[in-house]
Amino acid sequence: MKRLLLLAGAFGFVALAAVLAAWIISRAAKATPTTLTQTANVTNAGSLPPATSPARPALQTRSTLPPATSVPDPSFDVFHTRMLKKLSGDAEKRAGEALFDIKYSDPRKFAQLDWISGVPYKDVSRILKADSLPVLYDMLKDPKYAQHWPKIARIIGFVAYDAKDQKAVPELLAYFQRPEDFNSTGPNLAWQRLYGKLSALNVIGLVGGRQADETLRSALTAEGVRTLAKDWFESPLPSAVPKEEILAITSGLAAGGLVHSQDPQAIALVEALYTREAERCKASGSDSKLRNQLADAMIYRDIIADIGFDRYLHTLGTSFEQNEAEKHVNKYMFQSLSSPRTLR
Inter-residue contact 261 to 212 (CB < 8 Å)? yes
Q: Beta-carbon neighbour count of residue 105 at 10 Å?
A: 13
Report the sign of the C-alpha dihedral through residues 102, 103, 106, 111, in that order: negative
Top pLDDT among 290 and 39 is at 290
Q: Please report which residue ranges of 44-132 form alpha helices under DSSP H.
A: 74-103, 107-110, 121-127
Q: Which of 122, 172, 76 is nearest to 313 (CA)?
A: 122
pLDDT at residue 86 greater than cutoff 80: no
12-47: pLDDT as tens digits: 544 444 444 444 444 444 443 333 333 333 333 333
pLDDT band at 264 (very low <50, low <70, confident <90, very high): very high
For the chain, the domains span 106-343
Residues above pLDDT 70, as percent of the chain: 68
Confidence of residue 181 (pLDDT cuts 50, 70, 90): confident
Beta strands, E only, 125-195? none
Query: How far is residue 124's CA from residue 318's CA, in Å, rounded to a whole number?
Result: 12
From residue 70, give the alpha-carbon distance in Å to each of 81, 144, 217.
19, 68, 76
Taking the CA atoms of 209, 212, 216 and 217 in sequence, report the sign of the dihedral they define: positive
* pLDDT of amino acid 96: 59
Which residues, 6 or more positions from 337, have their beta carbon under 8 angstroms from its beta carbon?
A: 278, 281, 282, 343
> Hey, how many other C-beta atoms are within 10 angstroms of the C-beta on 72?
18
Cα–Cα distance measured from residue 111 to residue 129, given in angstroms and rounded to the nearest whole number = 13
pLDDT tens digit string along 203-239?
Answer: 999 999 999 999 999 999 999 999 999 999 988 888 7
Q: Give residue 187's pLDDT.
A: 72
d(CA 184, CA 343): 42
Q: Give the residue among 266, 279, 247, 256 at the shortest CA–CA distance from 209.
A: 266
pLDDT for 92 equals 58
Compare 234 and 258 and report the one with higher pLDDT: 258
DSSP 196-240: HHHHHHHHHHHH-SHHHHHHHHHTTSHHHHHHHTTTTTTS---TT
Other CB atoms within 10 A of residue 343 CB: 19
Task: Indicate the pTM of the whole model.
Answer: 0.70
Cα first-last separation, the chain = 93
Report whether 71 contacts 65 (CB < 8 A).
Answer: yes
DSSP helix/strand/coil, 138: helix
Find out whether 260 and 202 touch, Cβ atoms under 8 Å.
yes
